[in-house]
């Protein structure tokens, strides 16, 4: 014969059973629980994370990160950055995102045409609440190989022309 439920004290919380266990009243619990290892992130410095990857360091953040390797341009062909370091939010909105943007012909135009930006959570060591800026990872839409440049040297006289100009 089942025993009647004991009355609970006012304000006392009812405990539900553990996985497959029984609660205080002898009934099977309504919720299952589980135990797993805590999800503690692996923290590393910005230099350890970025290494020597090509990085687009915004003008407003550049003085704070002199060790990061900027993306390179060679013969009019730019290297696709894998990361972007932005300054704190107010400066990024007012200065760097505007003239670096695609509408102004800046590197954000072609960088975001080739990749999508993912914000990476970052913190200052021993000052986690302080806003320092932001870090974005550029994930390319396609895995393409870098452009191969073909160069040559040609000497031409001053009166040389590649041909007539197009007529309008």
- Of the candidates 128, 56, 46, 48, the residue with the CA atom closest to the CA atom of residue 92: 56
Task: Establish if 81 belongs to a structural domain.
Answer: yes
Task: Establish if 10 belongs to a structural domain.
Answer: no
| CA pair distance 12, 20, nearest whole angstrom | 23
Task: Establish if 61 belongs to a structural domain.
Answer: yes
Sign of CA dihedral 91, 92, 93, 94: positive
| CA pair distance 161, 90, nearest whole angstrom | 51
CATH code of the domain covering residue 133: 3.40.190.160
Sign of CA dihedral 102, 106, 112, 115: positive
CA-to-CA separations, 24 to 5, 15, 18, 140, 153, in angstroms, rounded:
9, 7, 11, 56, 89
Task: Establish if 24 belongs to a structural domain.
Answer: no
Give me the number of domains the chain comprises. Answer: 1
CA dihedral 137, 138, 144, 149 (to 10 degrees): -100
Taking the alpha carbons at both ends of the chain, their separation in whole angstroms is: 102
Q: How many CB atoms lie within 10 A of CB 120?
A: 13
Q: Which residues pair with 137 in a beta bridge?
A: 83, 118
Task: Establish if 158 belongs to a structural domain.
Answer: no
Task: Establish if 68 belongs to a structural domain.
Answer: yes
Q: 78: domain range?
A: 50-140
Task: Establish if 7 belongs to a structural domain.
Answer: no
Q: pLDDT tens digits, the chain, 168 residues: what are they? A: 455 544 445 544 444 444 445 555 555 556 666 777 777 777 888 889 999 999 998 887 877 888 889 889 888 888 999 999 988 877 766 677 777 877 888 888 888 888 999 999 888 888 888 888 889 999 999 988 878 888 899 999 999 998 888 875
Q: 1-30 pLDDT, tens per residue? A: 455 544 445 544 444 444 445 555 555 556
Scanning the structure block, which residue is given the tokens 């060679």?
74
CA-to-CA separations, 96 to 75, 127, 128, in angstroms, rounded:
25, 25, 24
């Amino acid at each position: 014969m089942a025993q009647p439920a004991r009355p609970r004290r006012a304000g006392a919380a009812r405990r539900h059973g553990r996985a497959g266990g029984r609660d205080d009243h002898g009934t099977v619990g309504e919720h299952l629980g589980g135990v797993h290892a805590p999800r503690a992130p692996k923290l590393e410095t910005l230099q350890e994370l970025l290494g020597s990857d090509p990085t687009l360091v915004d003008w407003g953040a550049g003085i704070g990160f002199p060790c990061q390797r900027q993306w390179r341009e060679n013969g009019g062909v730019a290297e696709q950055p894998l990361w972007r370091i932005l300054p704190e939010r107010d400066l990024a909105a007012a200065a760097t995102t505007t003239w670096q943007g695609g509408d102004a012909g800046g590197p954000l135009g072609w960088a975001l045409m080739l990749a999508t930006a993912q914000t990476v959570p970052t913190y200052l060591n021993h000052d986690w609440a302080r806003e320092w800026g932001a870090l974005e990872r550029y994930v390319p839409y396609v895995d393409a190989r870098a452009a191969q440049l073909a160069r040559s040297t040609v000497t031409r006289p001053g009166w040389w022309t590649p041909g007539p100009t197009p007529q309008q």
